[in-house]
A = this chain, B = another copy of it.
Amino acid sequence: MTEPTAAAAVLTGMAGAGDELQSLYRRLHAHPELSMQEHRTAGLIEQRLAVLGMTVFRCGGTGVVGVLDNGPGPTIAFRADTDALPVEERTGLTYASTADGTLADGTSTKVMHACGHDTHVASLLTAASLLHGARAEWSGTIVFIFQPGEEIAAGAQAMIDDGLWERAPKPAVILGQHVSPGPAGVVGHCTGTAASMADSWEVLVRGRGAHGSQPHHSVDPIVQAAHTITRIQTVVSREVDPVDAAVVTVGKFAGGTKENIIPDSAVFTLNVRTFDEPLREHVLESLRRIIRAEAMASGAPEPEITELSRFPRLVNDAEVTRRAVEALAAQWGQDGVTEAQPLMGSEDFGALGDAIDAPSCFWFIGGTDPERHAAATAAGTVSTDIPSNHSPFFAPVPELTLPRMVEAAVVTSLEFLERP
């Protein structure tokens, strides 16, 4: 008779944990918090980890770390991010968020877990509980990292700056996962570059205000900003090699208070995605050039560009990725894993391993009902039918998604730990 694998043994606990997993998820979903303001979420995590008897500490403000020391053997780390987004939820779910939040600039906003970090937290807490409950099946140390502020590329660095790797044991491997619009429970993986670099700027366009009836007395910053946004479309359409990937998004535009007053200034924010440092530098330089040139075209002073965030590239270690994927395939069959292209999305996960030169692997796991996904794929309407991350309609199907996320966390963690 074959001995069951450690994973199988740990996962026997899933049967009893399912209801709690779902209700934990709904609670997190209903109470999203903005980046670096995850106070309630951090409290809940702390309390959940503490009852398991492990060492728990706050790190980087609203970050929480739990260290589960289970005897000799390797140390690994698994990370979940915890923050939500300034999006007004429109899913119509019974547990949809109605939460409010306040952005850094003081404006208030609705808040939503529109990027699915609630699934990350719920599944990692549940995996922690199962791994703790089946301590006899494995040996080593797991560092559970609940990181705040991923959406603004602030949280990983904040935890490192707050002594993460002095206060927790240094892991040999760091793992992480992210829910995506793919078919529920299927892991998409890639080696090498796994997510794009992202640079975000705020651009303050400065003109000269005047009464709306006297445009000739003004230097109209709204017209200038509109032309700038129009003009920067040419960076991707004309300056980037068509076989390379780059994105320039203007996510926010704010200027003026009243229809008949030409304001003194307007603000817009840019988000730039690239996979490659020379291209990144080229795109950023082109944007700077265009922003300056459109100010010149308006006869306006040079706009002020403020860097909001800078996401590094996320690189998956080849060997760690191979082992993690093989472990998942052994658990689920080959249908459960699929090779994926690097994503345009960005992540500050990579910073955690870079700080201590630890190899890491980060994968995506689908959250969409597989039949719906298959139908949309057949119809060629995935992009319009299935809400993507950051959409106000983003809603992973929790029954199919969460258990697989728990399994993925358990199986890959055990791959890098030891049997006692």
Contacts and interface: CB of A to CB of B under 8 A. Distances in A.
A200 interface: yes
A388 B264 CA distance: 13
A241 interface: yes
A263 B251 contact: yes
A88 to B, nearest CB: 9
Contact of A266 (B198, B216, B236, B253): B253
Interface string A266-281: 1011110100001000
A213 B257 contact: no
Contacts of A392: 209, 264
A296 B293 contact: yes
Contacts of A248: 237
A263 B208 CA distance: 28
Interface residues of A, number: 98
A231 to B, nearest CB: 6
Interface in A244-299: 245-264, 266, 268-271, 273, 278, 286, 289-290, 292-294, 296-299
A323 to B, nearest CB: 26
B251 A262 contact: yes
A341 interface: yes
A308 B212 CA distance: 15
Given A260-B390, A390-B261, A247 B242 contact: yes
A216 B229 contact: no
Number of this chain's copies in the assembly equals 4
A391 interface: yes
A289 B202 CA distance: 25
A217 interface: yes
A253 B255 contact: yes
A208 B243 CA distance: 20
B198 A260 contact: yes
Contact of A225 (B226, B260, B343, B345): B226
A107 interface: yes
- Which residue, A255, A256, A390, has most C-beta atoms of chain B within 10 A? A390
Interface string A372-387: 0000000010011000
B344 A214 contact: yes
A348 interface: no
Given A249-B262, A251-B262, A308-B259, A212 B271 contact: yes
A18 to B, nearest CB: 30
A119 to B, nearest CB: 16
Given A212-B249, A225-B226, 19 more contacts: A85-B258, A114-B261, A115-B211, A208-B384, A209-B390, A213-B343, A215-B249, A216-B239, A217-B388, A223-B233, A226-B253, A237-B248, A251-B262, A252-B258, A253-B253, A254-B255, A259-B271, A260-B346, A262-B390
